[in-house]
């Protein structure tokens, strides 16, 4: 089955802690994306990568970092510099202009 | 600032009725338009894409695009309670390769 997996489903972070959200896809898509969704809000782009070993900042990249060492994987690190990280994080991939989304990770700051 | 605007709702329709969801966008360079359905606590799933002016039908769903008016809509015929969800409109950013701009979504409630 082709698809996108994200782990963990729920994540709790203490103040000052860095955490990493996993995203893996077996759709053979070149492009991958990270979005953040807050209640009642649309999806906001954090980072995206069009090709391995290359990525660009989206609209709200501050406090986040990514890597793209493999085509299948695009992990997102939420650093302690991100002051309000509680949100629903969605990873997506794309062969073109549409998006296929993973199931999401819900991050809560304790 | 490129924007996609949707009425947040909630839009409430009776079962069997037509639900009409609307979206306007600011970027005249946009060429690709998408509707996603998002159930509470779940991730969005693509239900319609449209690239040319006019109507595109897929089952009970019809997407309508008017680029001159910068307007895209989604009609759901014979609405079912299972259609109750938030519907996100997304438009490609004409100036940024591959980027999509999402609206905040319209919450639809279909009453039995």
Distance of CA A95 to the CA centre of its chain: 17
Residue A55 to residues A51, A68, A89, B79, Cα–Cα distance (Å): 7, 7, 18, 41
What digits encode the pLDDT tens for the residues A11-69? 998 888 999 999 999 999 999 999 999 987 889 999 999 999 999 999 999 999 999 99
Phi, psi at B67, each rounded to 5°: -70, -30
CB of B90 within 8 Å of any CB in chain A? yes
Phi, psi at B94, each rounded to 5°: -60, -20
A-B interface: how many C-beta pairs under 8 angstroms?
Answer: 50
User: DSSP of A36-71, one letter per residue?
Assistant: EE-TT--EEEEEEEEETTEEEE-TT-TTEEE--SBT
Q: Spell out which residues of chain A touch residue B90, defining contact as CB-CB under 8 Å.
A: 43, 99
Q: What percent of chain B has pLDDT over 90?
A: 82
Residues forming a β-bridge with A86: none
CB of B76 within 8 Å of any CB in chain A? no
Nearest residue of A to residue B98, measured between CA atoms: A97
Residue with tokens 């954090």: A46
d(CA A58, CA A93) in angstroms, rounded, equals: 15
Q: Spell out which residues of chain B touch residue A99, defining contact as CB-CB under 8 Å.
A: 34, 44, 46, 90, 100
Reference A43, options B15, B89, B14, B82; nearest CA is B89
Q: What three-state secondary structure class fits B83?
A: helix
Tell me what the pLDDT averaged over chain B comes to: 93
What digits encode the pLDDT tens for the residues B9-50? 899 999 999 999 999 999 888 899 999 999 999 999 999 999
């Amino acid at each position: 089955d082709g698809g996108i997996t994200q782990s963990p489903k729920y994540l709790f972070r203490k103040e000052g802690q860095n955490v990493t959200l996993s995203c893996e896809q077996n759709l053979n898509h070149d492009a991958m994306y990270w979005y953040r969704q807050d209640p009642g809000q649309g999806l906001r782009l954090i980072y995206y990568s069009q090709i391995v070993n290359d990525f660009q900042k989206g609209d709200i990249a501050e406090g986040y970092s990514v890597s793209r060492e493999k085509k299948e994987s695009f992990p997102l690190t939420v650093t302690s510099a991100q002051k309000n990280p509680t949100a629903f994080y969605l990873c997506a991939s794309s062969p073109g202009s549409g998006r296929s989304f993973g199931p999401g990770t819900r991050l809560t700051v304790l | 600032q490129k924007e996609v605007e949707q009425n947040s709702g909630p839009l409430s329709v009776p079962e069997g009725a037509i639900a009409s969801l609307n979206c306007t966008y600011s970027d005249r360079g946009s060429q690709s338009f998408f509707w996603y359905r998002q159930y509470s606590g779940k991730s969005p799933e693509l239900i319609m894409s449209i690239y040319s002016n006019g109507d595109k039908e897929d089952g009970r769903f019809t997407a309508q695009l008017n680029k001159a008016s910068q307007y895209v809509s989604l009609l759901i015929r014979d609405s079912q309670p299972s259609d109750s969800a938030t519907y996100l409109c997304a438009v490609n950013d004409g100036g940024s390769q591959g980027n999509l701009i999402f609206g905040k979504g319209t919450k639809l409630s279909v009453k039995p």
